[in-house]
Chain A
Amino acid sequence: MSTPPLGTPDTTGAVAPWERLIAVIRERWDIVALVVLAVAPLVLPPLGGALGGQVTTLFIYCILALGLNVMVGYTGLVHLGIAAFFGIGAYLFAILTVPMYPFQMRFLTAAVVSALATAGVGLALGAPTLRLRGDYLAIVTLGFGEVVKVTLRNLEQITGGMKGLNPVPPPGAGLTIGGTDLGLAFAIDPRWFYYLALLALAGVVLAMRRLENSRLGRAWVAVREDELAAEAMGVSATRVKLSAFAMSSAVAGLAGCLYAASLSTTADPNAYDFNRSIMVLCAVILGGLGSIPGTLLGVALLVGFDTVLAPWADSAIQQWNINSSGSSLLTFSGWRLAIFGVALILVMRYRPEGLVPSRRLAAELHEVHA
């Protein structure tokens, strides 16, 4: 029995079951992924340990990247300081919850307040700078990122300097439902955070989907494709860009809250530096600008590279005894930066729309090339 080559329209009506499966996955990748991720902790014991924490961090980076995607992907504004907003969210959340400060809000209230406040910071930075040309705006965001990092590091009375703020209480601290202390449950079993982050990620994905096809989402894309034409159609480019800036910052701030809560500390300010910003940007670009599955895949690839592929390759090199001299040239992780660099260059050259392109952006890019 021969199978028809991929892409051939099926005329017989008989579809092989695996093809149907592939089609279902392609159509409904989101539901499939959600179900797999939701069931995984129940069947895979390692997810109840350190691995669970790593996957939680992965989800949080996915949220951060989706936030960045609003600006870079949909609206076409290069943002090189997203980590600053991630950090602002984390620190605001910490200030609102740690015992050191008088606020000590509940998780949800604190998360909402700090995400909104982060959006406010984004507006404050965006309002005066959004009329700048594209590459100047990129530099402003970069400079802002550095200013935030230095400020977080130096305002020791407020931010705790290099020690950061801790302990950030777990969500639901003090709440008891059906005899279980929620705060304690979060503190003991990483799966609680896993599900919380997964839920937040699913919520953000859903919101982004709705936004993509909303009036605002289409305005973002219109401004990216041709600002002048969009203005002529009655779209206020300034307002649209500002809303993208605010949305990006709010989502990044939310990711920051989850990050601080899951680590139970803000970590030191270096966690929110240019490197973090650029890695998230790489993820969005490699995966596909303006594409939700692309962004998620990009983050998974980058994080997977650091936590799975690099350690595996390093230990493999050691096992095969290639690197008997112990030179850092012969380790895989030593080449990390160069590999990312080459990947960025190759993607820009041959597939600027990314690995899983958004349909609109792919069309736009190929029109430019023609």
Chain B
Amino acid sequence: MTFFLQQCLIGLTNGALVALVALGYTMVYGIIRLINFAHGDLIMLGACLALTLVTGLGMAGWTGAATWLGVALLVVLCGLFCGGLNVAVDRLVYRPLRNAPKLAPLVSAIGVSFIFMNIGLFWLGPADRSFPELLPATNLFAGGGLQFTAKDLLVIVVVVPLMVALSVLVKSTRFGKAMRAVSQDTTAAALVGIDVDRVISATFFVGGFLGGAASVIYGLYINTIGFQMGFQNGLYAFTAAVLGGIGSIPGAVVGGLVIGLVRALSSAYVGERWTGAIVFAILIVILVFRPEGLLGRSTKEKV
């Protein structure tokens, strides 16, 4: 029983991380109907920057409050970096293709993903790199059979406030209202005076910022990064977004948690090497039987 609970705990922590990445997919898809293939690789670049900063600042020697402040600084810097990069890519690559056939932006996103991977290859080198352990591995649940360390706490401490902030941003601000309007109907939004391009840029920034934050947590939590990490992690997160209902922000969170649980439980009970197959089989089954996802609304195909 303890073993099962432990796996669930691992799954939920992992899932929170997946959810953070999934938000980046779902927001961009929600607003311009683009599967942003490069999002996973954007996060890989964020992790590169995080590693460079950690090494450059010598953060491995920091202790206590300084470490936590340092991590906060990393989250902000990598968030800004990934957000900015995402906006630049949108401006240079996707914006000229807004009225092109759907295949064009999708293929361009694959192209961007290649370029990011190449940058990551130069940044990290071809081999995987280990990310220093900054946080103590002491168990926070004294006496209990469950293991919950500062690393796990970090994931929760970063992810929960970000999600609260995001839902406030989307639900109760002027920008959030504009974003929802653009996602519902771009033309109508433009007609009532919303600067559509700016809203799209801002959405890319927010999605990228969350991805940057995720990249820092990924480095600190998983402790290994490599230039090819983006593809698989991106795919898991995309699965989560689809599972929750792509375009739906709460859906991405729920989907992320579910995918995290599935991964942890299948690794524990079926075998690590089958995990990928199980996650993608679930993705296919969901798409076949409930393409709108768990929380998404079914959309009718426009003629």
Our verdict on whether A and B bind, yes or no, reads yes
Q: When chains A and B are docked, how far (Å) is the Cα of A139 from the Cα of B34?
A: 12
**Chain B interface: which size bin?**
35 or more
Q: A344: which B residues are within 8 A, CB to CB? A: 107-108, 110-111, 114
Is B57 an interface residue when CB atoms closer than 8 A count as contact? no
Contact A335 B231 (CB under 8 A): no
Contact A340 B114 (CB under 8 A): yes
Is B35 an interface residue when CB atoms closer than 8 A count as contact? yes
Contact B276 A150 (CB under 8 A): yes
Which of B93, B239, B288 is within 8 Å of A128, CB to CB?
Answer: B288
Contact A139 B238 (CB under 8 A): yes
Which of A129, A133, A337, A338 is within 8 Å of B301, CB to CB?
Answer: A133
Chain A CB within 10 A, most for which of B101, B111, B115:
B111
Q: A78-B106, A146-B276 are in contact. Are A348 and B111 (CB under 8 A)?
A: yes
Is A140 an interface residue when CB atoms closer than 8 A count as contact? yes
- Name the residue on A nearest B282 (C-beta): A143
Contact B291 A136 (CB under 8 A): yes
Q: When chains A and B are docked, how far (Å) is the Cα of A184 from the Cα of B114?
A: 43
Q: Distance (Å) between the CB of A154 and the closest chain B CB?
A: 5
Q: A143-B280, A228-B303 are in contact. Are A345 and B112 (CB under 8 A)?
A: yes
Q: A285: which B residues are within 8 A, CB to CB? A: 107
Contact B287 A150 (CB under 8 A): no
Contact A129 B288 (CB under 8 A): yes
Instruction: Mark the stretch among B7-15, B16-24, B67-75, B116-124 that contacts chain A.
Output: B116-124
Contact B114 A338 (CB under 8 A): yes
Q: B114: which A residues are within 8 A, CB to CB? A: 337-338, 340-341, 344
Q: A338-B114, A344-B114 are in contact. Are A154 and B273 (CB under 8 A)?
A: yes
Contact A343 B121 (CB under 8 A): no
Is B100 an interface residue when CB atoms closer than 8 A count as contact? yes
Q: Mark B260-285, 1 if CB is under 8 A from A, else 0.
A: 00000000000001101100110110
Chain A interface secondary structure, helix, strand, loop or mixed?
helix
Q: A336-B118, A345-B93 are in contact. Are A132 and B291 (CB under 8 A)?
A: yes
Q: Distance (Å) between the CB of A125 and the closest chain B CB?
A: 8
Is A19 an interface residue when CB atoms closer than 8 A count as contact? no
Q: B276: which A residues are within 8 A, CB to CB? A: 146-147, 150
Q: A154: which B residues are within 8 A, CB to CB? A: 273-274, 277
Q: Distance (Å) between the CB of B95 and the closest chain A CB?
A: 11
B28-77 CB contacts (< 8 Å) to partner A: 33, 35
Q: A129-B287, A348-B97 are in contact. Are A146 and B112 (CB under 8 A)?
A: no
Q: Distance (Å) between the CB of B299 and the closest chain A CB?
A: 9
Chain B interface secondary structure, helix, strand, loop or mixed?
helix
Q: Distance (Å) between the CB of A307 and the closest chain B CB?
A: 19
Which of A132, A135, A228, A369 is within 8 Å of B35, CB to CB?
Answer: A135
Is A334 an interface residue when CB atoms closer than 8 A count as contact? yes
Q: When chains A and B are docked, how far (Å) is the Cα of A143 from the Cα of B280?
A: 5
Q: When chains A and B are docked, how far (Å) is the Cα of A114 from the Cα of B106?
A: 32
Q: When chains A and B are docked, how far (Å) is the Cα of A344 from the Cα of B113?
A: 11
- Name the residue on A nearest B277 (C-beta): A150
Q: B118: which A residues are within 8 A, CB to CB? A: 334-338, 341
Chain B CB within 10 A, most for which of A153, A348, A368:
A348
Q: When chains A and B are docked, how far (Å) is the Cα of A341 from the Cα of B107?
A: 9
- Name the residue on A nearest B283 (C-beta): A143
Contact A139 B102 (CB under 8 A): no
Q: When chains A and B are docked, how far (Å) is the Cα of A161 from the Cα of B64?
A: 47
Chain B CB within 10 A, most for which of A76, A134, A151, A337:
A337
Q: B231: which A residues are within 8 A, CB to CB? A: 274
Contact B100 A144 (CB under 8 A): no
Q: Distance (Å) between the CB of A199 and the closest chain B CB?
A: 33
Q: A329: which B residues are within 8 A, CB to CB? A: 122
Chain B CB within 10 A, most for which of A129, A142, A329:
A142
Chain B CB within 10 A, most for which of A140, A345, A365:
A345
Is B103 an interface residue when CB atoms closer than 8 A count as contact? yes
- Name the residue on A nearest B289 (C-beta): A128
Q: When chains A and B are docked, how far (Å) is the Cα of A278 from the Cα of B288?
A: 23
Contact A138 B35 (CB under 8 A): yes
Contact A147 B100 (CB under 8 A): no
Q: When chains A and B are docked, how far (Å) is the Cα of A348 from the Cα of B115?
A: 15
Contact B115 A334 (CB under 8 A): no
Q: Distance (Å) between the CB of A35 and the closest chain B CB?
A: 35
- Name the residue on A nearest B104 (C-beta): A348
Which of B108, B235, B239, B280 is within 8 Å of A348, CB to CB?
Answer: B108
Which of A76, A128, A146, A365 is within 8 Å of B235, CB to CB?
Answer: A146
Contact B287 A136 (CB under 8 A): yes
Q: A36: which B residues are within 8 A, CB to CB? A: none
Q: A128-B288, A139-B287, A334-B121 are in contact. Are A147 and B103 (CB under 8 A)?
A: no
Q: Mark A128-172, 1 if CB is under 8 A from B, else 0.
A: 110011111011101110110011011000000000000000000
Q: Mark A328-370, 1 if CB is under 8 A from B, else 0.
A: 1100001111101111110011001000000000000100110
Q: Distance (Å) between the CB of A353 and the closest chain B CB?
A: 10
Q: B97: which A residues are within 8 A, CB to CB? A: 348-349
Is B96 an interface residue when CB atoms closer than 8 A count as contact? yes
Q: A228: which B residues are within 8 A, CB to CB? A: 303
Contact B100 A348 (CB under 8 A): yes
Q: B112: which A residues are within 8 A, CB to CB? A: 341, 345
Some 21 contacts from A to B, beta carbons below 8 A apart, are A132-B287, A139-B238, A140-B283, A143-B280, A143-B284, A146-B277, A154-B273, A154-B274, A336-B118, A341-B111, A341-B118, A342-B115, A344-B110, A345-B93, A345-B108, A348-B97, A348-B103, A348-B105, A349-B104, A349-B108, A352-B101
The 4 closest A-B pairs by CB, nearest first: A341-B114, A344-B111, A143-B280, A338-B118
Q: Apart from A78-B106, A139-B242, A338-B119, list 4 A-B contacts with CB within 8 A.
A: A143-B235, A147-B281, A150-B277, A338-B114
